[in-house]
Amino acid sequence: MIKLFFSNLRKQFLIIIIILIAFTFNVLANVSTDNSNDTIQIENVDTVQLSKFDEFNKKAENFFKVFPVPLISYSEEAGNVFGLAKFNAFKLNKTDTISSYSKISEVFTISTEGHINISVSTAFNFSQDKYMLLGYINYKKTPEYIFGIGNDVARDDIESITTERISFVNYFLRQLHSSLYLGVGVDLTNTFEVEKDSTSFLITDDVTGKDGGTTIGLGISMAWDSRDNRYNASNGSFVFLSYLYYPNWYGTGFDFQTWQFNVRKYFNPWHKHVIAVQMATNYAGGDVPYYELSKLGGEDRMRGYYKGALRDRVLVDAQVEYRMPVWNIFGLVGWVGTGRVAEKYQDLSLSGFWPSYGLGLRIKVDSESDINLRIDTGFGKNGISGFYINFSEAF
């Protein structure tokens, strides 16, 4: 297990090393000797170099505000992944000094295994933080790698099911008092072009949603948000609860509901060191299509697992992450987590939990709003691993 960990770590962090080398050469190229400053005393050299480094950082930040960042990663399921990512934090109204920063994040990726992902996510905060609009628009064409439905599955049973999917999800929340928000949510999703083998478990088990379909969900949401920074918190807490009902609008046979509950707490034990804790659960009840079941994994929770490899009606997971500064714009994180799926909450047992653990590098790309570029490599059971590059913290 230890050999496998370090073997995967070397593969995934090769990209990080390349990024750091390129970054270092760029810095050195910008820190050139100026003969006009020959009279500077030796004791001031470190100060001059730091100033030059900070000057380069500022130029890099301005670059990232305009141009996207190239993404290169690899996973056994997706193959080689190439793409671009863009993140901008800004004030909707420059005279509004109370509202938190808003953000727009765009991602485009394509892989050698046929994955295509185009996503735009937003978080708008306005009117002195009285209103929040959270949402995303996503198009995805991808072979989904599913172990099956349920928690007692094996990686050897993995099955590729190719789907195309368009989603539009938004939550609009109004501040009721201090950090408390209440609002409505909408989820419009169309899943189509479901390609599976004739021996697929979707067919043999006559799984709901095996041919795709359209789902429209409406519901309510509530949030408690006392974080000092919504994209890189060091203090405070965040609680999110949502309920969406998906009636049989178009005669698809789907009539179901989903619940989400997410709790995060942040501690600052000493200068710029952060301990972040998250616990979450999802539930889907009724005639739920398989692609709307609760899914374990992804780039934010249970990192290392391909999202949806394990799925069922119930999902519970938790993680603890330690975030520490290293030098200037660089930081490191490490986390451990665990989670599992089940058909009912009564079926949960301690013996069935899957582990998640990993390490990450942080590079500050926006000092004004304190936003990091995050590069994570996560590991799970039986050699499972994942590599992620994105903006802002995982939670």
- What would the DSSP string read from start to end of 272-327? TEEEEEEEEEEEEEEE--GGGSEEE-SSSSSTTSPTTSEEESEEEEEEEEEEEEEE
Query: How far is it, in rounded angstroms, from Cα 30 to Cα 23?
Result: 11
CATH number at residue 235: 2.40.160.50
Q: How far is CA 208 from CA 159, 254, 264, 288, 374, in A?
A: 17, 8, 33, 7, 37
Contact 267, 228 (CB under 8 A): no
Contact 207, 194 (CB under 8 A): no
Q: Is 343 exposed, middle or buried (0-12, 13-18, 19+ CB in 10 A)?
A: middle
3-state secondary structure of 392: coil
Element (H, E) at 21: helix 2-30
Region for 45 from its dihedrals, namely left if φ exceeds 0, alpha if ψ lies in -120 to 50, beta otherwise: alpha
- Tokens 């960042």 belong to 69
Contact 244, 219 (CB under 8 A): yes
Position 168 scores a pLDDT of 97
Position 235 scores a pLDDT of 96
The beta-carbon contacts of 20-27 under 8 Å, at least 24 apart in sequence, are 23/363, 26/56, 26/60, 27/52, 27/53, 27/56
Residue at 154 is within a domain: yes
Residue at 22 is within a domain: no
Residue at 69 is within a domain: no
pLDDT tens-place values along the chain, 395 residues long? 444 444 444 444 444 444 444 444 444 444 433 444 443 443 444 455 557 777 877 887 888 788 888 887 776 667 788 999 999 999 999 899 999 999 999 999 998 888 899 999 999 999 999 999 999 999 999 888 888 899 998 877 888 899 999 999 999 999 998 899 999 999 999 999 999 998 899 999 999 999 999 999 999 999 999 999 999 999 999 999 999 999 997 666 799 999 999 999 999 999 899 999 999 999 999 999 999 999 999 999 999 998 898 999 999 999 999 999 999 899 999 999 999 999 999 999 888 999 999 999 999 988 888 999 999 999 999 888 888 888 899 99
Contact 307, 296 (CB under 8 A): yes
State the chain's maximal CA–CA distance in angstroms. 81
Query: How far is it, in rounded angstroms, from Cα 269 to Cα 283?
Result: 34
Residue at 30 is within a domain: no
Position 212 scores a pLDDT of 93
Position 145 scores a pLDDT of 84
Q: How many other C-beta atoms are found inside a 10 Å radius of the C-beta of residue 330?
A: 14
pTM: predicted TM-score of the whole model, two decimal places: 0.82
Residue 340 half-sphere exposure, CB side, CA atoms within 13 Å?
Answer: 18
Residue at 113 is within a domain: no
Residue at 32 is within a domain: no
* Structural domains of the chain, count: 1
Q: How many other C-beta atoms are found inside a 10 Å radius of the C-beta of residue 150?
A: 15
Sign, CA dihedral 138-140-144-148, equals positive
Of 183, 100, 175, give the one whose Cα is nearest residue 135: 183
Residue at 90 is within a domain: no
Domain hosting residue 199, numbered range = 119-391
Position 351 scores a pLDDT of 87
Position 137 scores a pLDDT of 97
Position 123 scores a pLDDT of 96
Residue at 106 is within a domain: no
Element (H, E) at 243: strand 236-246
3-state secondary structure of 22: helix
